[in-house]
Structure formats: structure tokens, C-alpha cells
Amino acid sequence: MGHPVHLIIDGQPHDLTVDPRTTLLDALRDHLGNMSPKKGCDHGQCGACTVLVDGRRLNSCLLLAVSLDGAEVLTSDGLAPDGEPSVLHTAFLEQDAFQCGYCTPGQICSATGVLREAADGHPSVVTEDHGHDHPIELTEDEIRERMSGNLCRCGAYVNIVAAVRQAAGASTASEGTAR
Amino acid sequence: MRPFDYVRADDPAGAVAAMAERPDAAYLAGGTNLVDHLKLGITAPDLLVDLGRLDLADIEELPDGGLRVGAMVRNSDLAADPRVRRDHPMLSRALLSGASGQLRNAATTGGNLLQRTRCVYFQDPTTPCNKRAPGSGCSALGGYTRYHAILGASDACIATHPSDMAVALAALDATVVVLGDDGEKRLPLTALHRLPGDEPERDTVLEHGDLITAVELPPPDGAARTRSTYRKIRDRASYAFALVSVAAVLELDPDAARPTILSARIALGGVAHAPWRARRAEQLLAGAPATRESFRRAAAAELERARPVAGNEFKVTMAQGAMGSVLAELAGLGEENEDSPDE
Ligand SMILES: Cc1cc2nc3c(=O)[nH]c(=O)nc-3n(C[C@H](O)[C@H](O)[C@H](O)COP(=O)(O)OP(=O)(O)OC[C@H]3O[C@@H](n4cnc5c(N)ncnc54)[C@H](O)[C@@H]3O)c2cc1C
Ligand code: SF4
Ligand code: FES
Ligand code: FES
């Protein structure tokens, strides 16, 4: 029954033996004690379990751990190595972008993906100039659309949008590509 | 969840061979539909054949100028591909109006086509459902029908196919490439999904073990580049399935004295068990003047065959209105003014 899986999680290599039914979310929380990603719905609907796998944001509740042999997984914890908050963590704190905080690690991982996707010129359905391949400015509309896979039951959306905007401004400025 | 074995396929032929020996096996692609169904108990395979490492994740240019999209190309990568955005913006828009950023990063071209209906009763193993348990009855009839079919349904099942991408591909005349036990076959995308009839358990014409290896897009034409779009009407502005959607490509005659339609290719989503290619409307539009009246008449003719059930009658008007207004917009007729019809 057990299948060997090698995963690099938040920078640390792990060798696990998993039942093929185990999701990445359950492997992280139940096998490795990494409580950063949260289980909201367990059906791909809420985004609380969002992590980065090889740099892409994904719902860890819909991924089978066995299929990810060799992957690098980053949780919100791993985005703050040695407790040093990322641009997004800081922005969430400064903008008061949470209440209970349950959805926050998923929001942070998702927003990390959003910043990269926009910098890479990936359009969203609200992007006006759809055909042109250039970094996308993260307006409020863009952020709302791109973050729609992350629900917040406390309804902190207004401040979440402000936090992502702050982080987007900070990251474009630091890359010298402000537009 | 029933225990299952797991194998990782190294090449397409190996994947097909692994399935051939096991009647209860299933392919695993992005997993965003299948893993959900394993948890819900809708399906219980005894073996998963993982397609994740197959060399099918590229988008290649074909000699005729078309594109060959590997079955494992992720929805987000297909939507962001510069050639797709330039030549088939309607496809990119359809992809981007489906699901969420995270889900599109996982969802694949093959898996998206073969995702199953979102009918709430299908997803709830405690209720009768002919698609999930043939012969048990259809709980949607007389139940919650907002997301159900108005065209081509049967007494056995009124489910809709939920994909946005498939609707755009239907209007684009895409081709599906399939590898089976008996070699490769090619079929038009519009021939992949079935209407329910008295076998609603069969979503498509594929047989057990058939592997979608690619979807091919025809060479772009000027109309697909400039006069095409995808419009999705839903209960929330984002992250919701379509009530009704319209994919359309409109080709106008550049030589005609008055704006005249050369051809239209139209597909509707959210209304049937398959992406619904609006052939009747297309026939009426070919050669007709590009006026609001033509579009209205064509949309009405297409929806004449609609058979809504209690609770989804509104979708007939919605589909008709959406189709007419999308076509008018593509013809450059601008916003409709109810008070001053143009004819
Ligand atoms: C919350 C939520 C919201 C969503 N909203 C939308 C939406 O608005 N619009 C929309 O279009 N979709 C939506 N989706 C559905 C999503 O698009 C599909 O789940 C996804 O496209 C399926 O692709 P996959 O690669 O993950 O497939 P999988 O889950 O891996 O597979 C799906 C099915 O296809 C089979 N399969 C996969 N690949 C192949 C192949 N190459 N050959 C043969 N068989 C294959 C599998 O065996 C399985 O039966 C939503 C999903 C969720 C969870
Ligand atoms: S509409 Fe189809 S899928 Fe839904 S309950 Fe009826 S038979 Fe099942
Ligand atoms: S727990 Fe994964 S999306 Fe809700
Ligand atoms: S802060 Fe409570 S769910 Fe988002």
C-alpha cells in the first residue's frame, strides 16, 4: 500500500511513505505536522489549503501526495524563513487583512502566485489588453478576479485587496519595473 | 475512500496498456475533478494511472499554421500562451473565466474536456441519479434545475456539461486526438460529448482506456482573431459555473456594400449535456445582413427547440438574449437601445 515519496517542504527534504489516497494537504498536516495550510472545504472550493508547488499556486486538498515525487512545496510558513516576514506577510499585517486568520496562509500563498503571474504577463479575464504579453498592473479589479479562489468567511476582502496592492507596489518598485 | 493502486505512466502507449488490463482503473491528470469525486464516493477506481509525467505538456505549431495542444497542458498555460491569445482570444477568455487561478494551474486540457457534470444530485451519492447509478431515477426533475439543460436533454437526465473551455473549442472547430487499444483516432470536438438519451452514464463517445493525447486548433483566420469572443453569465462575477455562455466567431463580407455576414460559428454553454453548437442559427446567418434583427431571429430560431423544465425557463430568454447581443457586439453594432430598433 505504501508508496515512497520524496518532497522538499519549506526548504527541508522529507522522505515519506504514503497511502496513495493521501492528499498533499493531509500529508503536510497529519504526517509532517505542518499546520500552515488549512483545511476549509477539502473540495477545491475555498482556497484555504493553497500552497506553492514548484512555484505554482495549487489547492493542496486536490493533489495526491504520491503524484508529487520530487516536488518543492512552499507553505506560508516557508515564505517566512527564520521568521522573517515576506512582503506579503508585512502587507497583510499593515493593512489588517484578516480577522480570525484561518484563510490567511492560503491567501498569502495565492497572492504570492498572483504577483508572479502578473509579472510574467499572464492575463486574467478582466485584463483589457488581452493580446499583449507584458507585465500586468494589479488594479483592484485584477486583484479581486485573481484572488477569487480564496474565500474569507470573516469577509476581510477589502483589506486583503489593499494588502495585495501594497505588496504589488512594493515588489514592482523593488524590481525597478514600476509602470 | 476505497483503496486503490497507483502507477505512473511513462508514455502514452504504456498508459493505455495499463488501463486495458484493469476495467476499474482511471486516468489521473490534474486531479481537480477526479480527486474530488474519489472523496465524494462518486467513483471508486481500483487503480489510478497517473498521466503527470507524460510528454504531453507542449503547445506545438502544426505545418498548416494550427496549434497542437498536448492533453497535459495546464489551463493557465494554455490561456497565457501568446499564440493562443493572438490567434484564438476567445479560447483564452473562456479558460480564464473558468474556476480559479489555483485550479487552472492544475487543470489540464484533457481533464477539462472530461470533467463531469456539476449537477448537485450527481455529486451527492445519497440521492437517485441515472448518471451515477443507472436506473435509479433523476432527482433533478422536480428539483433544483438552475444549472440544468434546456436543449437536447432526455427524460433520463437533464445535466449540463460544465466546461467553459469546451464551448470555445466547439466554436473553433477543434479536433480531439485519442489513443486507444486499436491505435489513434481523431474526432471533431463537437462529436466528443454525447446527449444523454437513455444512457446518461456515458458523457462522451470514448471507451474505457481511451487516452486524449492532444487537441488541435485549426489555423487562425482573421475573424477568429478580431471578431470572436466568449461571454459567460453566472450568479457571481467570478469563480462560478456558467448559467449560460456564448462563444462566437463572426466573419463579415469585406466586399459587400452593406455589412453582410459571410459566416458565423457559435456554441452555447450551460444549456446542454454537451457544448451546443448553434448550427441552425449559423445557417440562417450565412449571407444575411449584419443587423440586430438578423441576430435576434437566428437566436430565436436556435432556441425554438428549447425544452426547459420547471425552474430553468429563464435560461431560454437568457441564452437567446446573450447570443443576440454577443453577435451584435462582434458586428460592431454597439450597445442596444430598446427604444429605437435599427430596422
Ligand atoms: C470549485 C471549482 C470550480 C470550478 N469552476 C469551473 C468553471 O467555472 N468552469 C470550468 O470549465 N471548470 C470549472 N471547474 C472544473 C475544472 O475545470 C476541472 O476540474 C478541470 O478542468 C479538470 O481537469 P483535471 O486535469 O484536473 O482533470 P482530472 O480531475 O484529473 O480528470 C477528470 C476526468 O478526466 C479523465 N482524464 C483526464 N485526463 C485525461 C486524458 N488525457 N485522457 C483520458 N481521460 C482523461 C480522468 O480520468 C477523469 O475522469 C471547477 C472546479 C472546481 C473544483
Ligand atoms: S440531471 Fe442527470 S446527473 Fe443530475 S440527477 Fe438527473 S440523471 Fe443525475
Ligand atoms: S480546503 Fe482546499 S480548497 Fe478548501
Ligand atoms: S480572516 Fe477569517 S476567514 Fe479570512
- What rounded mean pLDDT belongs to chain A? 94
B38 CB neighbours in chain A (<8 A) are 21
**CA of residue A121 to ligand 4 center, whole Å:** 29
CATH class of B226-330: alpha beta
Q: How confident is residue B341, by pLDDT bands cut at 50, 70 and 90?
A: very low
% of residues, chain B, pLDDT over 70: 97
Q: Which residues pair with B59 in a beta bridge?
A: B69
Instruction: Please provide residue B100's backbone torsions phi and psi, each rounded to the nearest 5 degrees.
Output: -130, 170
The mean pLDDT value for B288-299 works out to 97
Which tens digit of pLDDT belongs to each residue from B105-147? Answer: 999 999 999 999 999 999 999 999 999 999 999 999 999 999 9
Residue B340 has pLDDT above 50, yes or no: no
CB contact under 8 A, B239 and A148: yes
- What rounded mean pLDDT belongs to chain B? 95
Q: How far apart are CA A108 and CA A78, in angstroms?
A: 11
**Residue B36, class by beta-carbon neighbours within 10 Å (0-12 exposed, 13-18 middle, 19+ buried)?**
buried
Q: Which helix (H) or strand (E) covers residue B104, if one does?
A: helix B101-106
The mean pLDDT value for B310-318 works out to 98
Q: Which helix (H) or strand (E) covers residue B276, if one does?
A: strand B276-277
Strands B25-28 and B244-252: unpaired
Where does chain A hold its CATH 3.10.20.30 domain(s)? 3-75
Lowest mean pLDDT: which of A138-142, B235-239, B297-301, B339-343? B339-343
The mean pLDDT value for B153-172 works out to 98
User: Measured between CB atoms, does A157 come within 8 Å of chain B?
Assistant: no
Pocket test for ligand 1, best of B112, B202, B236 (most atoms within 8 A of CB): B112
- Angstroms from A38 CA to nearest CA on chain B: 15
**Sign of the torsion angle spanned by Cα atoms A58, A63, A66, A67:** negative
Where does chain A hold its CATH 1.10.150.120 domain(s)? 81-173
User: Measured between CB atoms, does A57 come within 8 Å of chain B?
Assistant: yes
By three-state DSSP, how is residue B65 classified? coil
Q: Which residues pair with B204 in a beta bridge?
A: B193
Q: What is the ipTM of this complex?
A: 0.95
What is the pTM for the complete model shown? 0.96
A103 CB neighbours in chain B (<8 A) are none
User: Measured between CB atoms, does B93 come within 8 Å of chain A?
Assistant: yes
Pocket test for ligand 1, best of B108, B120, B212 (most atoms within 8 A of CB): B108
CB contact under 8 A, A43 and B93: no
**CA of residue A50 to ligand 4 center, whole Å:** 14
**pLDDT value of residue A1:** 66
CB contact under 8 A, A133 and B89: no
Question: Of B76, B79, B238, which is closest to A148 when you measure between CB atoms?
Answer: B238
Interface probe with A: pick from B102, B226, B228, most Cβ of A within 10 Å? B102
For chain A, list residues with pLDDT below 50. 176-179
**Sign of the torsion angle spanned by Cα atoms A54, A43, A3, B207:** negative
Cβ–ligand 4 distance for A7 under 6 Å, the answer no
CB contact under 8 A, A1 and B38: no
| b/e map B147-170, b = 16+ CB within 10 Å | bbbbbbbbebbbbbbbbbbbbbbb
**CA of residue B234 to ligand 4 center, whole Å:** 25
**pLDDT value of residue A129:** 74
Q: How confident is residue B335, by pLDDT bands cut at 50, 70 and 90?
A: low
Query: Domain A81-173, what fold?
Result: DNA polymerase; domain 1 (1.10.150)
**CA of residue A41 to ligand 4 center, whole Å:** 14
Which tens digit of pLDDT belongs to each residue from B5-50? Answer: 999 999 999 999 999 999 999 999 999 999 999 999 999 999 999 9
Ligand 1 pocket by Cβ (under 6 Å): A 44-45; B 26-34, 36, 51, 71, 98-99, 103, 106-108, 110-112, 114-115, 162-165, 211-212, 241
In sequence order, which residues have a C-beta less than 8 Å from that of residue B30 and are 6 or more positions away? Answer: B74, B106, B107, B108, B111
Q: How far apart are CA B232 and CA B93, in angstroms?
A: 10
**pLDDT value of residue A148:** 98
Question: Of A63, A114, A150, which is closest to B31 when you measure between CB atoms?
Answer: A63
- Angstroms from B126 CA to nearest CA on chain A: 18
HSE-up (13 A, CA, CB side) for residue A162: 11
Which tens digit of pLDDT belongs to each residue from A117-139? Answer: 999 999 999 998 776 778 999 99
Q: How far apart are CA B252 and CA B41, in angstroms?
A: 50
% of residues, chain B, pLDDT over 90: 93
CB contact under 8 A, A23 and B35: yes
**pLDDT value of residue B329:** 96
Q: How far apart are CA B105 and CA B118, in angstroms?
A: 20
**pLDDT value of residue A177:** 41
- Angstroms from A63 CA to nearest CA on chain B: 6
In sequence order, which residues have a C-beta less than 8 Å from that of residue B135 and are 6 or more positions away? Answer: none
User: Contact at 8 Å (CB) between A121 and B80?
Assistant: yes
By three-state DSSP, how is residue A49 classified? coil
Q: How confident is residue B225, by pLDDT bands cut at 50, 70 and 90?
A: confident
Residue B312 has pLDDT above 60, yes or no: yes
By three-state DSSP, how is residue B266 classified? strand
**pLDDT value of residue A134:** 84
CB contact under 8 A, B96 and A123: yes
Q: How far apart are CA A152 and CA B79, in angstroms?
A: 27
Which tens digit of pLDDT belongs to each residue from B60-78? Answer: 999 999 999 999 999 999 9
Tell me the CA distances in angstroms from B206 to B30, B52, B132, B186, one per residue in order. Answer: 19, 21, 17, 11
CATH class of A3-75: alpha beta
Cβ–ligand 2 distance for B129 under 6 Å, the answer yes
